[in-house]
């Protein structure tokens, strides 16, 4: 059977597969791309390769037991997954949280935010510059800093990626004695390193040419797709749950919400860079202001069935590095959730990809996909 | 008869030396890149500092399974790596390693270099077309567009030192350099810059490695190749890059000339320095996009090359 | 453009960040959580575990099986006849360590015990006791009593004062 592949303009059309095994597919993501020469005519994204049924799992195990599983959802910033569930259960059950625990939660969340944005920066440049080029250099620089940061988290909680730190009513680990010193050394060093990254990329006209006016996501479209986090802020909407609906003790800290203007790839990159600086600012304020006191208002884990949320339903969300990360919890008074729905930011951000890629070039695919910073544990749940 | 013997005497050792150097250049590049990235690089294969790593790499590639996909055009598919390598190796015929060590001192040496080195795209295109796969095809087409655009600025950049030397013979050009051409006011620097950029583009090096762009096209025209055939592409690319560094040395850095050390040593040192400089650029920048690449060539490099040539002519007339 | 080159050049002379792993091992933090478990013994060499099965109940991936023995040991306490832990599905969440009333199950701060045999990933009671003998000095700081001390909430009476 002869297939007609010549388009109206006389170009031959080609379906190209990108992923699930592809050097630039973040995690496992498959895109079928119809190209006409270098121009993209149509994109069909396929997700679900990493589907693990996290939501259903949440309905089968006790809430306490679900916490470490939730860590694996968005594996680059585990704390921002634990946070909303803890907030939801605490609000529903009326559990108080000591102030020190709130501070520790904020510190851990901001540390994870920096770690996650460093991964974004590294992989984004890796996509743009290739495994045998300048991209790798920046990738390794960012991972060098991330390593130092994860070391601090490991010293604190015992685990690098999945700390399982937050419990209902507080946190599970107190700080270790030299934490202040370690963190301050890291922050001093890290501020210089941010300058270095910006020096490497911000003055690089090749990088600017690749990112500016590429993959423009207008305000209305971003809102229409339900984007949040740096993707939404890159489009110029000043929406950050830490300011819009201050949870925990975020209203005690001074920080700004960086926004972009055009909503292009460069703006999303810039917003994340600025956010790292703001996180450093929050961390500096937080580490100086940790109050004395207990870290938990109840023993975190005694028997799994001990933690019960009274019947009711609640939605609570936090600002994860990728956007609004929310948990919708319906409880019927048993220790297991009746229904649990995760509102994961990556999924909504990624849904804009057919819109963004239409009319772009093949080379833009990687830049645009990288700038959305999806984590596929988060998209597929 | 004399010519045949002479070519044989020179070409066999030169080929061997080039292959060995190419193998070690991969080691050098890995070490260099590693240090630039706060890493250590090859370490365990051969102490100190993994000096046997190239050997291990070659062994690994030889031992690997040779796969020829089902629907490829077998003849062209098998021929392509050799065409690619042939073009890369043949250019060494006109490179003067010292005043006397040159395989063939053609009167149009520079022209021959450019003509042969652009043959390499034939190999790439053959590989891309015969693979019967989508990524290699896109890659080959990109490569073709790129080489057509960058050949012209490269030639324009090369013509300037040739005009200053008054010859196309590689040895004559070196001899004419009382002062290295790169130090020649204005013209020298501009043409060196254009030469470097266009040369990088012609060798498919980052930031111009569009045909290979592995984050987009996986590995470009070498996607379907494996084992030694892939190694040939790899080796040819390095050999080609080294040849380009050699050409840069001949044209701009005074070839074999230098105090104390013998000629070939100076040639090697200068070429290596230029090679390292190219690596430095490679490991620092991200990649351009194909349309930006072509625009850059036609809208900037080409006019700059022409103006530079005009300036060179003016200087020669005024002299 | 030139600044990029300058920064990479500067990094050329920085010390490599790599830790040459098999030769030099990274210092493992005290609280490290690694899914290698040990069953502790008391001074007399008798197992601490009282087979209360709290860990079996709390484990999110349900990989712990404890079968208490029919009779009591010489100290007059229950002890496990069978204690099995399938490390292949361990989340390293530390809940089993945390709930243990007698500090019986602990984590060992060891890195690089990866294996290609499935049998090695099934930790039986005997294996875990052997691990305890081998790695007595490398027990993670976060044991049940340590965690309890760290997390103890203020008593209600004290809070009212």
- Residues B184-196 pLDDT 10s: 777 778 888 888 8
Residue B127: helix, strand or coil by DSSP?
A: helix
**pLDDT beneath 70, residues of chain A:** 1-11, 130-133, 300-307
The 3-state DSSP class for residue A14 equals strand
DSSP letter for each residue of B252-306: HS-TT--SSS-HHHHHHHHHHHHHHHHHHHHTT--PPPHHHHHHHIIIIIHHHHH
Q: Do B287 and A125 touch (CB under 8 A)?
A: no
Q: In this complex, do C29 and A205 lie within 8 Å of one another by their Cβ atoms?
A: no
Q: ipTM of the assembly? A: 0.82
B38 touches chain A (CB under 8 A): yes
| CA A314/CA A338 separation, integer angstroms | 12
Q: What is the gyration radius of the CA atoms in chain A, in angstroms?
A: 21
**CB-based contact (8 Å) between A147 and chain B?**
no
Task: Check CB contact of A208 with chain B, cutoff 8 Å.
Answer: no
| Least Cα separation, residue B177 to chain A (angstroms) | 34
Domain that includes residue C140, residue range: 28-150
Domain extents for chain A?
A: 3-380
Omega cis (within 30) before B207: yes
Q: Name the residue of chain B whose CA is nearest to A131's CA.
A: B214
DSSP secondary structure letters along A41-54? EEEEEE--TT---H
Angstrom distances, CA of residue A367 to CA of A80, A135, A370, C148: 25, 12, 5, 48
Please list the residues that pair with A326 across neighbouring strands. A317, A343
* pLDDT of the residue at A2: 44
Q: For residues A165 and A108, is the Cβ–Cβ distance under 8 A?
A: yes
Residue A328, φ and ψ in degrees, nearest 5 = -105, 115
Report the pLDDT value the prediction gives residue A7, as an integer from 0 to 100.
52
Phi, psi (degrees; rounded to nearest 5) at B208: -115, 25
Check A133 against B292: CB less than 8 A apart.
Answer: no
C12: chain B residues, CB-CB within 8 Å: 35-36
Distance, CA of A146 to CA of C118 (rounded, Å):
33
Contacts of C138 (CB under 8 A, 6+ apart): C28, C108, C109, C110
Q: Is the peptide bond before A293 cis (omega within 30 degrees of 0)?
A: no
Q: What pLDDT, on the 0 to 100 scale, is given for residue A301?
A: 67
Rounded CA-CA distance C50/C80 in Å is: 7
Task: List pLDDT tens digits, range A26-52.
Answer: 778 888 888 877 788 888 888 888 888
Span B83-106, pLDDT tens digits: 888 888 888 878 887 777 677 777
CA C42 to chain CA mean position, Å? 18
Query: pTM, whole model, 2 decimals?
Result: 0.86
In a domain, C18, yes or no: no
Phi, psi (deg, nearest 5) at residue B250: -65, -45
- On whether the CB atoms of residues B225 and B68 are closer than 8 A, the answer is no
Identity of the residue in C8, C9, C16 whose CB atom sits nearest the CB atom of B40: C16
The pLDDT assigned to A262 comes to: 85
Q: How far is B240 from chain C (nearest CA, A)?
A: 24
CA-based nearest distance C37→chain A, Å: 15
How confident is the model at residue A10, as a pLDDT? 60
In 3D space, the residue among B237, B203, B246 whose CA is nearest the CA of residue B92 turns out to be B246
DSSP string covering A333-345: SSSB-SEEEEE-H
Q: How far is CA B194 from CA B112, B296, B301, in A?
A: 20, 11, 7
Nearest neighbour of B38 by CB, restricted to C5, C7, C17: C17
Query: What would the DSSP string read from start to end of B76-88?
Result: HHHHHHHHHHHHH
- CA A258, A263, A264, A267: dihedral to nearest 10 degrees? -10
CB contacts of A302 in chain C (<8 Å) are 99
d(C-alpha B245, C-alpha B195), whole Å: 10
Cα A165–Cα A170–Cα A174 angle in degrees, nearest 5: 60
| pLDDT average, residue stretch B1-23 | 75
**% of chain B exceeding 70 in pLDDT:** 99
DSSP output for A257-307: ----SS-SHHHHHHHHHHHHHHHHHHHHHHHH-PPPS-SBSS-S-S-GGG-
- Name the one residue in this structure whose structure tokens are 């399982």: A164
Instruction: Tally A–B CB contacts below 8 A.
Output: 107
**Across the B/C interface, how many CB contacts are shorter than 8 Å?**
31
Helices B109-117 and B134-165, axial angle in degrees (round to 10): 170
For chain C, state the CA radius of gyration.
21
Neighbours of chain C (3+ CB pairs under 8 A): A, B
For C16, name the nearest residue in chain B, comparing CA atoms only.
B38
Q: Is C4 contained in some domain?
A: no
Q: Which residues of B touch A140 (CB under 8 A)?
A: 37-39
Are B168 and B316 in contact by the 8 Å Cβ rule? The answer is no
| CA C34 – CA C142 distance, rounded (Å) | 11
pLDDT of B20 > 60? The answer is yes
Interface of C with B in 11-40 (CB under 8 A): 11-12, 14-18, 20
Chain A CB contacts of B37 below 8 Å? 136-137, 140-141
Helix A63-71 vs helix A79-93: crossing angle, to nearest 10: 160
- Which positions in chain A touch B137 (Cβ < 8 Å)? 14
CB-CB under 8 Å, B40 with C5: no
Tell me, rounded to whole angstroms, the distance of Cα C18 from its chain centroid.
27
Confidence of residue C156 (pLDDT cuts 50, 70, 90): low
Confidence at residue A9, expressed as pLDDT on a 0 to 100 scale = 57
**CB within 8 Å: C60 and A69:** yes
Q: Does A1 touch chain B (CB under 8 A)?
A: no
Please give the residue of chain C at the shortest CA–CA distance from A147: C17
B36 Cβ under 8 Å from any chain C Cβ: yes
Superfamily of chain region A3-380:
Cytochrome-c3 Hydrogenase, chain B (1.10.645.10)
Number of separate domains in chain C: 1
Q: Do residues B112 and B30 make contact, with C-beta atoms less than 8 angstroms apart?
A: no
d(CA A274, CA A251): 19
CB contact under 8 A, C15 and B43: no
Whether the per-residue pLDDT at B71 is higher than 60: the answer is yes
pLDDT of residue A206: 83
Q: What confidence category does residue B29 fall into, taking pLDDT thresholds of 50, 70 and 90?
A: confident
> Does B37 touch chain C if contact means CB atoms closer than 8 Å?
yes
Q: Which class for B224: exposed (0-12), middle (13-18), buried (19 or more C-beta within 10 A)? A: buried
Q: What are the chain C neighbours of B31 within 8 Å (beta carbons)?
A: none
Nearest to A164 among C94, C150, C153 (CB): C94
Q: Report the chain A residue with the minimal C-alpha distance to residue C30.
A: A155
Specify which residues A271 forms β-bridges with: none
The phi, psi pair for A143, rounded to 5°, reads: -70, -25
* pLDDT given for residue C161 in this prediction: 45
Cross-chain Cβ contact C4/A134 below 8 Å: yes
Q: Cβ(A331)–Cβ(A313) under 8 Å?
A: yes
In A, which residues are within 8 Å of B211 by CB distance?
A: none
Chain A nearest CA to C125, separation (Å) = 23
Quick one: how far is CA A309 from the chain centroid?
Answer: 27
Task: Specify whether the CB–CB gap between A51 and A344 falls below 8 A.
Answer: no
Q: What is the separation, in whole angstroms, between the first and last Cα of chain B?
A: 43
- Beta bridge pairs of residue C37: C107
Nearest to B216 among A24, A200, A207 (CB): A24
Distance CA B22, CA B17 (A): 8
Structure tokens at C21: 């792993």
Q: What is the mean pLDDT of residues B10-29?
A: 78
What DSSP line would sit under A202-232, residue for residue? HT-HHHHHHHTTSS---HHHHHHTT--THHH
What pLDDT is recorded for position B292? 84
pLDDT at C111: 77
Partners of B79 in the β-ladder: none
Give the C-alpha separation, A37 to A41, whole Å: 10
Kind plus residue range of the DSSP H or E element containing A348: helix A345-350
Residue contact B215–A140, C-beta within 8 A:
no
Task: Give chain B's length.
Answer: 319
Contact C8 B284 (CB under 8 A): yes
Chains that touch B (3 or more CB pairs under 8 A): A, C
C91 touches chain A (CB under 8 A): yes
Contact (CB<8Å) C7/A199: yes
Which residue in C91, C98, C151 is closest to A295 by CB distance? C151
For residue C76, what is the domain's CATH number? Answer: 3.30.70.3270
Domain boundary assignment for chain B: 68-318
In a domain, C17, yes or no: no
């Amino acid at each position: 059977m002869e297939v007609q592949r010549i388009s109206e303009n006389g170009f031959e059309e080609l379906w190209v597969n990108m992923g699930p095994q592809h050097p630039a597919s973040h995690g496992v993501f498959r895109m079928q791309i119809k190209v006409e020469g270098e121009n993209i005519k149509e994109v069909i994204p396929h997700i679900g390769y990493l589907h693990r049924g996290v939501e259903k799992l949440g309905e089968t195990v006790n809430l306490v037991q679900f916490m470490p599983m939730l860590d694996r959802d968005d594996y680059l910033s585990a704390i921002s997954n634990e946070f909303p569930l803890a907030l939801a259960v605490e609000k529903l059950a009326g559990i108080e949280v000591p102030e020190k625990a709130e501070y520790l939660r904020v510190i851990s969340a901001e540390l994870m935010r920096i770690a996650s944005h460093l991964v974004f920066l590294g992989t984004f440049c890796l996509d743009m510059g290739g495994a045998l080029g300048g991209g790798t250099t920046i990738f390794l620089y960012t991972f060098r800093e991330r390593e130092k940061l994860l070391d601090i988290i490991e010293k604190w909680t015992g685990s690098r990626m999945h700390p399982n730190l937050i419990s209902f009513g507080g946190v599970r680990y107190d700080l270790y004695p030299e934490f202040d010193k370690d963190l301050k050394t890291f922050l001093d060093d890290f501020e210089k390193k941010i300058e270095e990254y910006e020096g490497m990329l911000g003055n690089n006209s090749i990088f600017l040419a690749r990112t500016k006016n590429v993959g423009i996501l207008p305000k209305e479209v971003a809102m229409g797709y339900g984007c949040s986090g740096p993707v939404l802020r890159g489009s110029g909407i000043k929406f950050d749950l830490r300011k819009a609906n201050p949870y925990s003790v975020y209203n005690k800290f001074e920080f700004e919400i960086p926004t972009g203007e055009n909503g292009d790839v460069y703006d999303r990159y810039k917003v994340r860079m600025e956010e790292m600086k703001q996180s450093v600012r929050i961390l500096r304020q937080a580490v100086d202001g940790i109050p004395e006191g207990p870290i938990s208002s109840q023993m975190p884990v005694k028997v799994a069935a001990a933690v019960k949320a009274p019947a009711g339903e609640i939605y609570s969300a936090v600002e994860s590095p990728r956007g609004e990360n929310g948990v919708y919890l319906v409880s019927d008074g048993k220790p297991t959730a009746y229904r649990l729905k995760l509102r994961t930011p990556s999924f909504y951000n990624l849904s804009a990809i057919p819109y963004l890629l239409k009319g772009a070039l093949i080379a833009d695919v990687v830049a645009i996909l990288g700038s959305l910073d999806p984590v596929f544990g988060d998209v597929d749940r | 008869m004399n010519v045949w013997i002479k070519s044989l005497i020179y070409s066999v050792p030169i080929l061997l030396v080039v292959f060995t150097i190419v193998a070690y250049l991969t080691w050098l590049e890995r070490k260099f890149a590693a240090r630039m990235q706060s890493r250590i690089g090859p370490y365990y294969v051969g102490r100190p500092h993994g000096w046997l790593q190239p050997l291990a790499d070659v062994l690994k590639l030889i031992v690997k399974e040779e796969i020829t996909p089902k629907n490829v055009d077998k003849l062209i598919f098998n021929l392509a790596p050799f065409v690619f390598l042939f073009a890369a190796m043949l250019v060494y015929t006109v490179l003067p390693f010292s005043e006397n060590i040159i395989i063939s001192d053609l009167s149009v040496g520079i022209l021959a270099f450019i003509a042969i080195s652009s043959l390499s795209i034939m190999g790439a295109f053959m590989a891309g077309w015969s693979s019967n796969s989508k990524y290699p095809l896109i890659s080959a087409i990109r490569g073709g567009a790129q080489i057509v655009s960058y050949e012209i600025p490269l030639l324009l950049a090369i013509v300037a030192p040739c005009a200053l030397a008054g010859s196309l013979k590689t040895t004559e050009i070196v001899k004419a350099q009382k002062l290295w051409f790169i130090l020649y006011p204005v013209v020298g620097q501009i043409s060196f810059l254009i030469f470097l950029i266009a040369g990088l583009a012609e060798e498919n090096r980052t930031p111009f490695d569009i045909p290979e762009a592995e984050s987009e096209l996986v590995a470009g025209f070498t996607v379907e190749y494996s084992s030694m055939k892939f190694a040939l592409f790899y080796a040819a690319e390095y050999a080609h890059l080294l040849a380009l560094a050699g050409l840069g040395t001949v044209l701009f850095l005074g070839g074999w000339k230098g105090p104390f050390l013998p000629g070939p040593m100076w040639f090697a040192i200068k070429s290596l320095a230029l090679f390292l400089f190219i690596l430095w650029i490679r490991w620092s920048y991200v990649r351009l996009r194909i349309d930006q690449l072509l625009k850059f060539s036609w809208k900037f490099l080409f006019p700059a090359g022409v103006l530079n040539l005009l300036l060179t002519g003016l200087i020669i007339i005024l002299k | 453009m030139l600044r990029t080159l300058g920064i990479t050049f500067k990094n050329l002379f920085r010390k490599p960040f790599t830790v040459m792993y098999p030769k030099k091992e990274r210092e493992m933090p005290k609280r490290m959580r690694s899914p290698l478990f040990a069953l502790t013994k008391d001074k007399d060499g008798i197992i601490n575990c009282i087979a209360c099965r709290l860990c079996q109940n709390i484990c999110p991936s349900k990989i712990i099986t404890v079968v208490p023995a029919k009779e009591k040991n010489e100290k007059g306490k229950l002890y496990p006849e069978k204690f099995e832990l399938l490390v292949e599905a361990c989340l390293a969440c530390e809940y089993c360590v945390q709930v243990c009333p007698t500090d019986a199950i602990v984590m060992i701060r060891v890195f690089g015990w990866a294996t290609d045999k499935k049998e090695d990933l099934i930790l039986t009671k005997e294996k875990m006791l052997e691990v305890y003998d081998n790695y007595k000095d490398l027990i993670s700081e976060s044991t049940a009593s340590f965690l309890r001390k760290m997390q103890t909430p203020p008593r209600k009476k004290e809070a009212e004062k």
